[in-house]
Amino acid sequence: MRAPGFTLLEMLVVLVLLGLLIVGLQQGLSFGITASSRQEQSRDAIAGMDAADRAIRRMIEQIDPRDSNLFGGTSRVLRCATDLPSSATLPSTHIQATLAVDEQHRLILRWSPLPHVKPIARRETEDTLVLQGVERIEIAYAADITARRWLPVWQEAGLPPLIRVRLIFPPGDSRVWPDIIAAPARSAT
């Protein structure tokens, strides 16, 4: 007759199984934390790109046709008179804006209040970061409303019917950005 209890071999088998179970749980937990972190980074990147897309599109759509003489466009820089989006603390302000990529590969909106507008605080030029890690910007201007021909420089009188903004990211960057095509305001409000 055997004494009640477990043998040393049975205890070792249980300990090995518990060890394997703990290692499996730790690896699963580590994988879950890593996946959650990557998903959060991806979500933040998409939110940043979505905000940049809205800001660029709004800037183009709010170009003031009354100030078309302030409009200037090349394939790398867009200059125009537009409205700075209003916030809880500041009213909407009419600005001179320049959209370009700087030497640090940042998409920058450089703006200052127009002289005929009541200043909101000061007259200096402000730089607002729109998006980081941009290799270059390619801007094109539709020659006509059908957009069959895009011009790299706008030298016509008035505003172009459509403006296309394409952001190029460095090689190896996984971000994908569809072209932004927007129409400036066609008449003064």
CA distance 83 to 189: 13
Residues 6+ apart with CB under 8 A from 77: 98, 99, 100, 139
pLDDT digits (tens, 9 = 90+) for 48-58: 788 888 889 98
With H, G, I as helix, E, B as strand and everything else as coil, classify residue 153: coil
Q: Which of 42-46, 119-123, 149-153, 156-160 has the highest mean pLDDT?
A: 149-153
What average pLDDT is seen over the chain? Answer: 83
Measured from the Cβ of residue 137, the count of other Cβ atoms closer than 10 Å reads 19
pLDDT of 121: 52
Is 50 exceeded by the pLDDT of residue 182?
A: yes
Q: Which of 66-70, 76-80, 90-94, 153-157 has the highest mean pLDDT?
A: 76-80
Both tokens assigned to 127: 């730089």
How many helices (H) does the chain have, and how many strands (E)?
1, 9
CA distance 180 to 46: 15
Is 90 exceeded by the pLDDT of residue 75?
A: yes
pTM above 0.75, yes or no: no
Calculate the alpha carbon distances from 51 to 48, 55, 56, 171 in Å.
5, 6, 9, 23
List the single range of 12-16, 91-95, 141-145, 174-178 with lowest mean pLDDT.
91-95
Is 80 exceeded by the pLDDT of residue 76?
A: yes
Q: Cite the beta strand spans of 102-179 per DSSP E.
A: 106-113, 126-132, 136-142, 150-151, 163-168
In residues, how long is the chain? 189
User: What percentage of the chain's residues is helix, strand, coil (to nearest 5)?
Assistant: 30, 30, 40
CA distance 185 to 9: 83
Both tokens assigned to 141: 């201007």
Q: Cite the beta strand spans of the chain per DSSP E.
A: 72-73, 78-84, 93-101, 106-113, 126-132, 136-142, 150-151, 163-168, 180-182
Q: pLDDT > 90: what percent of the chain? A: 34
Phi, then psi, of 81 in degrees rounded to 5: -95, 125
Both tokens assigned to 129: 């970061």
